[in-house]
């Protein structure tokens, strides 16, 4: 075991105060924090563009996205001491906008009310023994499937950001991108560089690759198009979306159904992400609690709920093991309030290679699944393929958790399973039904 890996392993069990006393650990965590931040920094731009369709002003939504991310990362740093970055979640923001507001016809204020109710239930689960019971009940094959599924999801995101895959215009879902365009070529350069640095075990490999690829992009004039301009003078109008949650129709059927579905997304997507991301599962309880609190606060800040960013894996793979990584990300999110336009100089093509490699590393969890037992492999397989194919972690989990008890019962192994496994199957089945009705 080399010295760097030894330091990372030791940091896994250190308190935040202990970690701050070790220069080598702090150095690793700083690099991990910067890498993780850049991997997820697109959320500052993308989340407001999605919430715009719900009627929330884009520039005010940028403030909400940044503030909720800063708070979330600080909670992860000081409460959970975990290398997890919390930001408004991709997927749940789409549910917020396109299901609740666009399809159901509710206002964004009512959607914020639904988010607050769902987050409150999430907190009740997180701060009681229910969270431990549910997390311990998840079969090992499904846990590995969740990790691999999130990994494949990251690979898909990375390939899309790189322009290496695009939506098919005919019968194909996706096709190869145009390799004559600058963005895919830049991404391929970054991918090769990242791979070389990674397999050579160069310290700060991903961070170096992001910077080098960004410099190449700068000299060749390659930039992302969608970078919103943020006028800090508009901060005075931020109060227009703060504490605007509407609970006036909380007893209506649409409100209740939407709150149930969002609760399922928040609780089990967060649980699945943390099970798949955390290097030290002893930190699960505190991290789950911190995530719940931040999710609750985010709705009152004027944005869709926060979740653990899957891209945290990029920082963890770089060596992040403590809350210092999250603290660094919090500082960078705060600074981005002023320097949002500078993010354009770190194009998606520079970030994509890191996301792709991180996803590939997470997919190694497939090796922990007992593939010889089809009743273990197939439910995990559903999770692995449906998370990226549906662009929804919660949907992938739902199919896997419903399928698992069905297959076990069919094999006559009903008595071998605990009641929480059946409960999870029923809850996810209800979630699928309600989601179809919304």
The DSSP-derived string for 325-344 is HHHHHHHHHHHHHHHGGGGG
Cross-strand bridge partners of residue 306: 88
Residues 6+ apart with CB under 8 A from 252: none
Is 159 within 8 Å of 167 (Cβ atoms)?
A: no
Q: Which three-class secondary structure state does DSSP give residue 410? A: helix
| pLDDT tens digit sequence for 19-51 | 888 888 999 999 999 999 998 988 988 888 889
Q: Are strands 165-167 and 86-88 parallel, antiparallel or unpaired?
A: unpaired
Between helices 253-277 and 129-137, what is the axis angle to 10°?
Answer: 60
- Listed residue (43, 24, 32) closest to 323, CA to CA: 32
Q: For residues 125 and 432, what is the distance between their CA atoms, to the nearest angstrom? A: 21
| pLDDT in single tens digits along all 438 residues of the chain | 455 556 666 888 888 888 888 888 999 999 999 999 998 988 988 888 889 889 999 889 999 999 999 999 999 999 999 999 999 988 788 889 988 998 889 999 999 999 999 999 999 999 999 999 988 888 889 988 988 888 898 899 889 989 999 988 776 788 999 999 999 999 999 999 999 998 998 877 888 998 999 999 999 988 876 665 677 778 889 999 999 999 999 889 889 989 998 998 899 889 988 988 899 999 999 999 999 999 999 999 999 999 999 899 999 988 899 999 999 999 999 998 888 777 778 888 988 898 899 889 889 889 989 999 999 999 999 999 998 998 887 888 899 999 999 999 999 998 888 899 999 899 899 989 888 877
Structural Rg of the chain based on CA atoms: 21
Q: Of 338, 389, 391, 383, which is closest to residue 363 (Cα–Cα)? A: 383
Beta strands in 123-241 (DSSP E): 165-167, 174-176
**Residue 87 CA to its chain's centroid (Å):** 8
143-158 burial, b if ≥16 CB within 10 A, otherwise e? bbbbbbbbbbbbbbbb
Tokens encoding 97: 């906008």
| Torsion angle of C-alpha atoms 189, 195, 197, 201, degrees rounded to 10 | 170
Specify whether the backbone of 193 is left (phi greater than 0), alpha (psi in -120 to 50) or beta: alpha
Q: What is the model's pTM?
A: 0.84
């Amino acid at each position: 075991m080399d010295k760097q890996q030894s330091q990372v392993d030791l940091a896994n069990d250190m308190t935040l105060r202990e970690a701050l006393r070790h220069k080598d650990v702090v150095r690793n965590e700083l690099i991990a924090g910067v890498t993780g931040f850049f991997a997820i920094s697109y959320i500052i731009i993308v989340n407001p563009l999605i919430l715009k369709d719900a009627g929330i002003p884009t520039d005010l939504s940028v403030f909400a996205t940044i503030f909720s991310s800063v708070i979330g990362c600080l909670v992860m740093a000081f409460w959970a001491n975990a290398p997890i970055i919390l930001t408004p979640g991709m997927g749940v923001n789409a549910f917020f906008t396109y299901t609740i507001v666009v399809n159901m016809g509710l206002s964004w204020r009512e959607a914020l009310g639904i988010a607050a109710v769902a987050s409150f239930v999430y907190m009740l689960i997180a701060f009681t023994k229910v969270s431990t019971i549910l997390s311990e009940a998840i079969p090992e094959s499904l846990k590995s499937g969740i990790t691999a599924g999130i990994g494949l999801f990251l690979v898909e995101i990375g390939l899309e950001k790189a322009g290496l895959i695009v939506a098919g215009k005919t019968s194909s879902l996706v096709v190869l991108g145009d390799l004559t365009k600058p963005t895919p070529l830049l991404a391929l350069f970054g991918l090769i560089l990242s791979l070389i640095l990674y397999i050579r075990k160069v310290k700060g490999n991903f961070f170096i690759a992001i910077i080098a690829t960004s410099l190449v992009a700068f000299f060749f004039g390659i930039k992302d198009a969608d970078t919103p301009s943020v006028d800090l003078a508009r901060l005075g109008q931020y109060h227009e979306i703060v504490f605007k949650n509407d609970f006036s129709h909380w007893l209506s059927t649409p409100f209740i159904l939407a709150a149930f579905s969002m609760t399922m997304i928040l609780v089990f997507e967060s649980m699945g992400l943390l099970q798949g991301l955390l290097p030290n599962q002893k930190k699960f309880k505190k991290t789950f609690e911190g995530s719940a609190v931040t999710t609750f606060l985010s709705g009152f800040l004027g944005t869709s709920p926060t979740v653990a960013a899957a891209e945290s894996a990029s920082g963890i793979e770089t060596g992040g093991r403590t809350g210092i990584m999250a603290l660094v990300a919090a500082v960078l999110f705060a600074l981005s309030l002023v320097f949002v336009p500078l993010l354009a100089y770190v194009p998606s093509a520079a970030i994509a290679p890191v996301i792709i490699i991180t996803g590939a590393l997470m997919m190694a969890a497939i090796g922990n699944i007992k593939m010889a037992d089809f009743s273990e492999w197939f439910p995990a397989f559903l999770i692995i393929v449906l998370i990226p194919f549906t662009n929804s972690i919660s949907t992938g989990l739902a199919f896997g958790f419903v399928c698992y008890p069905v297959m076990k019962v069919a094999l006559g192994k009903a008595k071998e399973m605990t009641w929480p496994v059946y409960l999870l199957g029923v809850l996810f089945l209800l979630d699928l039904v309600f989601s179809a009705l919304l």
